[in-house]
Structure 1
Amino acid sequence: MSLRAIIHLCLHAAVPALLAWLFWRPQFGKAWLVMLLGWVIDLDHLLADPVYVPDRCSVGFHPLHTAPAIALYAGLVVPQRTRLFGIGLVLHIALDAIDCMWMRCSS
């Protein structure tokens, strides 16, 4: 696994932890866990053949990483009941998009 991939995966855990600590400190564990549930959208990688390609940008390629899905995730940020999950999903997409840019810059 490349250094880029390792950093990318670590950011998927670290950035939600940082946000939970900064904004939901009294409920840190719950907030972090709910935002980590944003990883559920990576189940769409199982539909691809091959499942994992280290240099493939997931944004726009996998069904749960497309614009209509992203619009839905943004909508989940609005109601308080789904806000943390929505933030986790939007954050997941943002980190994936940063990884895509990193791939383009390094190739």
Structure 2
Amino acid sequence: MQTFIHYFLHFGFPLFIAIAFFKKEWKKAYLILLATMLVDIDHLVANPIFQANRCSINFHPLHTYYAMLVYFVLLFLRKPFNIIGIGLLFHMLTDFTDCLMMSVS
């Protein structure tokens, strides 16, 4: 169930965000929100690259609290930067939710 929730929040829920907040150009917004998943490229610098029960928050460079401050600042800029900020922060929230589910199980 955790895997389903994780991938739904990464791929499905951004569609709802795009439709709810960017009605006129929801397709473009959805593609930008999906593109923010490229932030996971920082997983490639980890050793090992994949570890099943590792929390990415504050472990990978682009998943740190400092990076999240930059993502927060993006919210106050013009499109498409604010959409990118929303996508990156939602990505962090999704990964944080995953961390919480790992700590409970």
- Answer whether TM exceeds 0.5 for this pair: yes
Stretches of structure 2 lacking an aligned partner (at least 5 in a row): none
- Fraction of identical pairs, as percent: 38
Q: What RMSD, in angstroms, separates the aligned Cα atoms of the two structures?
A: 1.1
**Alignment partner, residue 84 of structure 2:** 85
Instruction: Look up the SS of the partner of 1:26 in the other structure.
Output: coil
Alignment of 1:37-48 (within 5 A): 37-48=35-46
Say which is worse superposed, 89-98 or 76-85, in terms of deviation: 76-85
Measure how far apart 1:5 and its partner are.
2.4
**Higher helix proportion, which one?**
1
Instruction: Look up the SS of the partner of 1:52 in the other structure.
Output: coil
Give me the whole-angstrom Cα distance separating, in 2, the residues matched to 1:97 and 1:60. 10
The C-alpha deviation readout for 1:81-106, integer Å capped at 9, x for no partner, is 31001100000001100110011011
Structure 1 runs (4+) greater than 2 angstroms displaced:
none
Alignment of 1:1-107 (within 5 A): 3-81=1-79, 82-106=81-105
How many residues of Structure 1 are paired with residues of Structure 2 in the alignment? 104
